[in-house]
Amino acid sequence: MRLLITILGKATGYLTLIIVFIAAILKYLDYSDPVSFTSMAVNMESLEEDFRLQNKSCFILGATGETGRLLLKELLDRNLYSKVTLIGRRRVSFEDKAYENLVQEVVDFEKLDDYAAAFQGHDVGYCCLGTTKAKAGAEGFIRVDHDYVLKSAELAQAGGCSQFHLESSKGADKSSSFLYLKVKGQVEADIEALGFDRFSIYRPAVLLVDRQESRPGEWMARKVLSSCSFMFPTMSIPIQAVTRAMVSNTLLKPEHKTEILENKAIHTLGTSTTT
């Protein structure tokens, strides 16, 4: 019993140190959000009605991932687009009738130029495509999170897409010494250089969601962060808030062609807007 108490005491101490360490890092990365939501008081329902009248179409990259799946559901629930297209490596099966009018384009991301037609005729693009170094290796991670994403953005713009919404990451910086943040920052910069009429970047912190795939490190982080989120609100964010913010922000008029929503702004928009 004494040994158990000692072990639990040490574990608690280590956990406390981990929490403080993570909080310090994220506090350092908590940049001032360049986006101000002066239109938060705007009636979102009215904005949605106006948007529907424009008869726009959109596509989603990464709809089989955690964020992409919830983003698709959010878009369909709010019925903003006359046409929603999923672009991915395989067809996805849905049982709910709400998904029956979806268009699905199957592509080979290694040969995207051969599938340029899949990216034509869309007004808005949403990208939630991504993997991890642990899952795909360093080269595979760069290929997916940078090369696939950038090439898709290029084809979308060439096909007439004027808006591109990218799920990135808190701390993204092309000058970072950390591969993950460096790649995220580089793809942001490369897509910005394409000159979309509107380019929206979303940089959420740790996503609070139970993934279908197993990522032990993220699982532990989510458990720790969800239990202390009231103490450190900038450390994490519910994935539903991210997808709701991405959709709601589409309805708002940005002050600049490129906008960056840091975690605080995403949380504010994703939890404060009502439909």
Q: How buried is 199 (Cβ within 10 angstroms: 0-12 exposed, 13-18 middle, 19+ buried)?
A: buried
Q: Is 135 one of the annotated active-site residues of the chain?
A: no
Question: 115: helix, coil or strand?
Answer: helix
Alpha helices in 160-262 (DSSP H): 179-192, 216-227, 239-251
Q: Report which of 85, 79, 83 is spatially closest to residue 48, judged by C-alpha positions.
A: 79
Judge contact between 185 and 175, C-beta under 8 A: yes
- Residue of 180, 202, 223, 257 marked active site: 180
In the chain, count H helices and then E strands: 9, 9
Judge contact between 234 and 205, C-beta under 8 A: yes
Angle at 247 between CA 46 and CA 172, to 5 degrees: 145
Torsion of CA 54, 126, 151, 83, to 10 degrees: -40
Q: Is 180 one of the annotated active-site residues of the chain?
A: yes
Question: 56: helix, coil or strand?
Answer: coil
- Residue of 126, 184, 202, 264 marked active site: 184
**Which residues belong to the active site?**
180, 184
